[in-house]
Amino acid sequence: MKALKLTAVAALSLLLVGCTATPSSAPTNSSTDTSTSQTYTAAEVAAHSSSSDCWMIVDGGVYDVTDYVRSHPGGSAILSGCGKDASSYFRGQASGGGERHTHSSAAEQILGQYKIGVEG
């Protein structure tokens, strides 16, 4: 019984020492955010300007919205932004051939899912 108590105390001591030890190096982030590490030029984005290959720039971010084009609630209005800086369309400052429309916070979140990089 005494050996069992001694073993339990030793195990608890090791656990506590391990939990309070100072790390020897800074923590690393194993999930690197690749959505902002890739840089694209406006010319590169311009090469993706069709409904079957639609990239756009919004507020400096580059988005591949090809898979979203068919689901866009505004229909083909999204095509006005393919291959270019669509910030003014997205923010409701330009009509893109249709009515001006300011997008909701939900639209912002949806757009974020398609981010592939930044303009540079």
Q: Are 30 and 61 spatial neighbours (Cβ–Cβ below 8 Å)?
A: no
Judged by DSSP in three states, 77 sits in helix
CA neighbor of 63 nearest in space, from 53, 74, 73 = 53
The class level of CATH for 39-119 reads alpha beta
Of 84, 49, 89, which is closest to residue 69 (Cα–Cα)? 49
Looking at residue 85, its pLDDT comes to: 97
What are the residue ranges spanned by the domains of the chain?
A: 39-119
What number of H helices and E strands is found in the chain? 4, 5
pLDDT tens for 50-102 read 999 999 999 999 999 999 999 998 889 899 999 999 999 888 876 555 556 67
Task: Kindly calculate the radius of gyration of the chain based on its CA atoms and give it in whole angstroms.
Answer: 25
**pLDDT for the residue 37:** 82
pTM: 0.67
Span 27-51, average pLDDT: 76
